[in-house]
Structure 1
C-alpha cells in the first residue's frame, strides 16, 4: 500500500466526519556536517514505562530505550539536546532523582554519539513547600550544577520556583545568579521562563513589570558575560525578545539570545537583517526534521527556503502550544506516540490527559499537513486506535 492509499475518516469540531488522505512523507535531508548557521537545541520529552503507574505521586519510571532513542534522532538531525527541561516534565512528574539519572544517561549517550547536550540545573530537590534562604537556594543550584558538570553537559540555569517564592528584589536574583555562575566550568545558558509556562514563576527577576525584569536581566548578563553563553527567553513576546537581543549585542557581544518562543520562532531565528535569535525550543522536539532542513538551507545562504520550511511548521506548533500553554507537553507526547517513538500514549504524572481528544485529533491533521507524520502507516493505525478508545464512532 502506498501512502496515498491511506485514508482515514476524522471527526470535525461540528461532529461531522471527513476523509483525510495522508500525504506522502516529506524527505527531510540529514546534515552531512555540523550545522553552524545557528546554535539550536531541542528540549526533548521523556517516555514513561507503559506498564508503570504514571499517576500523580507515582515514581517516575522511564522507558530508557524510547527516551534515549528520541535524543539520538535529535542528534542525527544535527541539533543539540536541552535535557531535563520543562518539556521533560521537570518538576511536573520528573523529580530531581529522575532528572539526575536522565542527565547522566543522556550525557553518556551524547558522548558516544558525538552529540551536543546542555542540561537544566534547578533547586527542585528541595521540598516543594520549602522557604529556603537565598544561601540555601544558591547551595541547591550548586549541587545540581556539580551533577551536570560531572556528567559532561553544559549547564542551563533554570528559573527556580523556590527563588521566585523567597526573592523580592532584583538585587536578590543578581546575588543568587552571580554566585551560581561563579562555579560553572564553561559559560552557562540562563533561562527566562514566563508564567504562561509555569504560573509559579510570576514576577521572576523581582518584578511583574517586564520592562523592569528586562533591565535586571540585561544588567546581569552585561556584568557576567564571560560566564554566560546565552539566555533562553520563553515569554511568547517576539518584540520583547528582539529588543533584548539588540541590547545584548551592544552590551554583551557574543552572548546568544536563544528563542524559546514556540509561536514566533521563524521570524526570530531568521532575524531582522541585523540580529537573529538562536533556538532552544520545545517545539523542535516535534518539528526537528524540518528545523534541521531549515538550518541546512540557512547554511547554504537560502534564506527564502529556510523561511518556507519553518513557516510550514508554524500552524502545528501554535496548536500544540495553544493556551493553556503549560499543557503543550501532551501534544508533544501524542506526536511522539503517533511517530512510533514511544510504545504508548502515556506521560508521567498522568499529564497525557491535559489535552482533549479533539485537540489531539487536530495535532494529527496538522502534522500530516506539515509533512511531519514520519511513518504514515504507523500514525494512521495509532490514530484509528485512539479514536476508538476516545469513544468516536463514525
Structure 2
C-alpha cells in the first residue's frame, strides 16, 4: 500500500500508509429505493488566462464528464447549486451555461437532473422590492423550464435581506408555485452554509421558521415534489419530515447525519440531495444498492465509515466544504488539478487536507491509493512540505 508523510498534531510530520482497498464498483447502473441527487461541483479551467479571484473559467468537458460519472453510479444530478459554487464563484450567466450543457447531456441518456433557480443575478446593493425578487425568480424559472428542466427553488439572499416577516415569504413562494409547470423541490439552506440566509422564512428560530415553511408547503402541496433542508440537525429534519403534507418528500441535506436519515425509522425516511454524494459517490451508490436489496446492515457498513469524512469536509466554516469535495475529485483522478473558481482551493489548511486523506482511506473512497498518495505529496510540496 502507498505510504507518505502527513502533517499531524503539534506541527509534526508522521508516516502514513494507506490501510484500506477501495470499494469495488459494480458494473451497470444500480437501482435504488430512495431518490438520490448528488449536488455536483464544477471543474475550473487551469489554462484560463484570467484573474482567478474575479473571473470564472470552467472546463466544460470535464464538468460534464463528472456528471456522467455520477449518472453511471445511479444518481440524479442537482445542478447549479451551492456545491457548484453558485453565487460563490459561479454567477447566473455561468449557471445558465452549466444548466444548458447538463440538461443536453442528461436528455441524451435519459438521466435525472434538476436545476437550481434563484435570484443571484439581482444587485444586492440596489433598493429592491418583493416584486423584484419574484421577477428575478420568474426569469430563472423561464430559462430552466424553457430547456425542459425541473426546478429546485433555491433560497434567496435578496429575499432574506428585504423580507419583513413570514407573510413576505408566503407571498413570494405562493406566487411562484402557482406558475410552475412541474412540482419543484424547495431548498432551505441554513446560514451555516450561507450566512446571508440567516433568518430565512422570517425567523432566526429554526422551529418558528419551520412552522412558516410548513404552512407554505401545505398551501401549495400540489406544486411541490419535496423539500431539502440543510440545517445539520437530524432532530429538526425528522420533526419536519413527520409534519410534511401527504405526497411531499423530505430530501435530506444533512451532511452530518445522512446515513440514519436515509435509512429512516418506523415513521418514514428521507430521500437525498447531498453535496457529500459528489465526494463519496461510489460508496453512496453501493450503500444505496444494498438498502434497495433489503440489506440494511450492508448499507450501514458502507455508509457509516463515510460520515466522519463528511463531517470533516463540512466542518465550520461550513461554506468552505466545496474545497474538500473538489480535493477528493483531484485525489481520485476525476480531474487533473486542484484549482477552483474564485481561488477557493486555498480555503482549507494543509492539516485539514491531511486529515481528509486519512478519513477518505478509512471510508474506502480513494479509488487508486497510489495516485491519491502521489497527488497528496504534490499538494504538500506546494506548501513547502516534502
Please indicate, yes or no, whether the TM-score normalized by the shorter chain is above 0.5.
Answer: yes
Where do residues 121-140 of structure 1 align in structure 2 (5 Å cutoff)? 121-140=117-136
Q: Matched residues in 1 for 2:29 and 2:312: separation?
A: 32
Where do residues 231-250 of structure 1 align in structure 2 (5 Å cutoff)? 231-248=227-244
User: Cα offset for 1:34?
Assistant: 3.6
User: Cα offset for 1:55?
Assistant: 2.6
Q: Paired residue for 2:268?
A: 275
Q: Matched residues in 2 for 1:120 and 1:32: separation?
A: 25
Structure 1 residue 294 corresponds to structure 2 residue 291:
no
Structure 1 residue 377 corresponds to structure 2 residue 377:
no
Confirm or deny: 8 A CA contact 2:7 2:14 kept in the other structure.
yes
Q: Matched residues in 2 for 1:120 and 1:30: separation?
A: 30
Query: Which of 74, 82, 87 is the equivalent residue of 1:86?
Result: 82
Q: Paired residue for 1:25?
A: 22
1:210-262 residue CA offsets vs partner (Å, 9 max, x unmatched): 121111111111111100000000001110110000001xxx11110011000
Q: Matched residues in 2 for 1:202 and 1:325: separation?
A: 14
Query: Which of 103, 106, 109 is the equivalent residue of 2:105?
Result: 109
Structure 1 residue 368 corresponds to structure 2 residue 343:
no
Q: Paired residue for 2:317?
A: 324
Q: Paired residue for 1:310?
A: 303
1:326/1:113 CA distance change after superposition, 3 Å: same
Q: Matched residues in 1 for 2:127 and 2:358: separation?
A: 45
Q: Paired residue for 1:162?
A: 158
Confirm or deny: 8 A CA contact 2:30 2:73 kept in the other structure.
no
1:326-373 residue CA offsets vs partner (Å, 9 max, x unmatched): 111111111111111222111111111110111011111111111111
1:33/1:363 CA distance change after superposition, 3 Å: closer
Query: Which of 346, 349, 355 is the equivalent residue of 1:356?
Result: 349
Q: Matched residues in 2 for 1:131 and 1:239: separation?
A: 38
User: Cα offset for 1:30?
Assistant: 4.5
Query: Which of 222, 246, 250 is the equivalent residue of 1:253?
Result: 246
1:33/1:373 CA distance change after superposition, 3 Å: closer
Query: Which of 54, 59, 66 is the equivalent residue of 1:57?
Result: 54
Q: Paired residue for 1:195?
A: 191
Q: Matched residues in 2 for 1:301 and 1:46: separation?
A: 34
Give the secondary structure class of the aligned counterpart of 1:129.
coil
1:30/1:276 CA distance change after superposition, 3 Å: farther
User: Cα offset for 1:11?
Assistant: 2.3
Q: Paired residue for 2:116?
A: 120
Confirm or deny: 8 A CA contact 1:30 1:292 kept in the other structure.
no
User: Cα offset for 1:127?
Assistant: 1.5
1:7-33 residue CA offsets vs partner (Å, 9 max, x unmatched): 222221223333222232221324545
Q: Paired residue for 1:171?
A: 167
Q: Matched residues in 1 for 2:127 and 2:118: separation?
A: 15
User: Cα offset for 1:392?
Assistant: 1.1
Give the secondary structure class of the aligned counterpart of 2:25.
coil
Give the secondary structure class of the aligned counterpart of 1:387.
helix
Q: Paired residue for 1:262?
A: 255
> Normalization by structure 2: what TM-score?
0.97
Give the secondary structure class of the aligned counterpart of 1:29.
coil
Deviates more, 1:336-345 or 1:161-170: 336-345
Confirm or deny: 8 A CA contact 2:156 2:197 kept in the other structure.
yes
User: Cα offset for 1:56?
Assistant: 2.3
Q: Matched residues in 2 for 1:33 and 1:315: separation?
A: 25
1:260-310 residue CA offsets vs partner (Å, 9 max, x unmatched): 000011111111222111110111101111111111111111111111211
Where do residues 145-160 of structure 1 align in structure 2 (5 Å cutoff)? 145-160=141-156
Q: Matched residues in 2 for 1:31 and 1:259: separation?
A: 26
User: Cα offset for 1:114?
Assistant: 2.1
User: Cα offset for 1:135?
Assistant: 1.1
Confirm or deny: 8 A CA contact 1:9 1:18 kept in the other structure.
yes
Q: Matched residues in 1 for 2:113 and 2:89: separation?
A: 22
Q: Matched residues in 2 for 1:33 and 1:385: separation?
A: 35
Q: Matched residues in 2 for 1:164 and 1:368: separation?
A: 40
